[in-house]
């Protein structure tokens, strides 16, 4: 709580008003890397869907239905997380 905290963002250690360090991996590329985000989301959804289908099909009956519901919930969570991350980036870039 000394001089190191004066005028600096506590989360990133970057002085106030300097958002370039949060822009990307190298700080030079401010783009959200939409292509890689779409690819990662697609891979996550594919892995969750295949795994849920295999486990749900193997169990069958009521446990299989619970696995189906969990897989659906996890799929929605993956979509919401990735869309929220992109929207947060766009809002931060617009500010």
pLDDT of residue 14: 45
What is the average pLDDT value for the chain, to the nearest integer?
Answer: 77
pLDDT of residue 52: 94
Distance CA 33, CA 31 (A): 5
> What SS3 class is residue 6?
coil
pLDDT tens for 3-41 read 555 554 444 444 454 444 444 444 555 666 788 888 999
Report DSSP letters for 14-52, one per residue. PBTT--GGGSSSSSS--S--HHHHHHHHHHHHHHHHHHH
pLDDT of residue 15: 47
Q: What is the pTM of this model?
A: 0.61
In this model, does residue 79 exceed pLDDT 50?
Answer: yes
Residue with token string 């991350």: 85
pLDDT of residue 94: 83
Task: Name the residue with higher pLDDT: 2 or 77.
Answer: 77
Going by C-beta distance under 8 Å and a sequence separation of 6 or more, which residues neighbour residue 26?
Answer: none
């Amino acid at each position: 709580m000394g001089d190191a905290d004066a005028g600096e963002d506590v989360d990133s250690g970057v002085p106030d008003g300097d958002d370039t360090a949060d822009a990307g991996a190298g700080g030079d590329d401010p783009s959200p890397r939409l292509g890689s985000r779409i690819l990662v989301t697609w891979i996550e959804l594919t892995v969750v869907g295949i795994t849920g289908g295999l486990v749900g099909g193997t169990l069958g009956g009521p446990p299989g239905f619970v696995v189906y519901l969990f897989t659906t919930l996890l799929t929605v969570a993956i979509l919401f997380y990735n869309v929220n991350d992109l929207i947060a980036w766009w809002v931060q870039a617009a500010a």
